[in-house]
Amino acid sequence: MIRVGKQRASKRKLPAESKSGSKKQRIGLGLKFIEGNAEELPFESNSFEHYTVGFGIRNVTDRKKALSECLRVLKPNGKMVCLDMSHFSLPILKPFYNFHVDHIVPRIGNLLNKNFNLPYTYLIESARLFYTQTEFVQALQEVGFRNCGFINVGFGACAIHYATK
């Protein structure tokens, strides 16, 4: 992911800097590419005005610890936005949605990965085990965020959650 990010930054001529082992590799000034653990962020407290994550919180071992770390690194009044898979909210279409994610998505995933033996169901399982939209809001509030809410995307197949420190 970092390699792709560096390539995209370079292609778009975005100011960026990355660390490669102990040697700094300069693409410009600005963006820094840092590999880290969401549960133990390698940043000082109150460092960032914004924290964004896409399809990531669902995959960490200790979600509340990751959310606490997000809160810790945000400056006062800092904003957090998270896009992730969620729980489909339109009952009349739910059987069609379930069929799609149970049968179509794994086949497309296997085709895209050119590996028909790859079990691509982890995405669906992790989404089903992930917080509901309201449970995620509650988790954000429990770690100390305020002004928490969400916007459903695709009738809740995904949701954008937001909060303020």
Q: Which domains does the chain have, with CATH numbers?
A: 1-35 (no CATH), 40-164 (3.40.50.150)
Q: What is the pLDDT of residue 81?
A: 98
152: number of Cβ within 10 Å: 16
Which residues 6+ apart lie within 8 Å of 52 measured at CB? 80, 81, 82
Q: What is the pLDDT of residue 94?
A: 84
Amino acid in the structure at residue 4: V
Q: What is the pLDDT of residue 122?
A: 72
Are 94 and 102 contacting, i.e. CB atoms less than 8 angstroms apart?
Answer: no
pTM of the model: 0.79
Beginning with the edge strand found earlier in the chain, give each strand of the sheet holding 74-85 in spatial order: 48-54, 74-85, 158-164, 146-153
Q: What is the pLDDT of residue 17?
A: 56
pLDDT, one tens digit per residue, over 19-54 is: 544 344 444 456 788 888 999 999 999 999 999 999
Amino acid in the structure at residue 87: H
pLDDT, one tens digit per residue, over 133-155 is: 999 999 999 999 999 999 999 99
Q: What is the pLDDT of residue 2?
A: 85
Average pLDDT over residues 104-121: 66
pLDDT, one tens digit per residue, over 70-106 is: 999 999 999 999 999 888 888 888 888 888 877 787 7
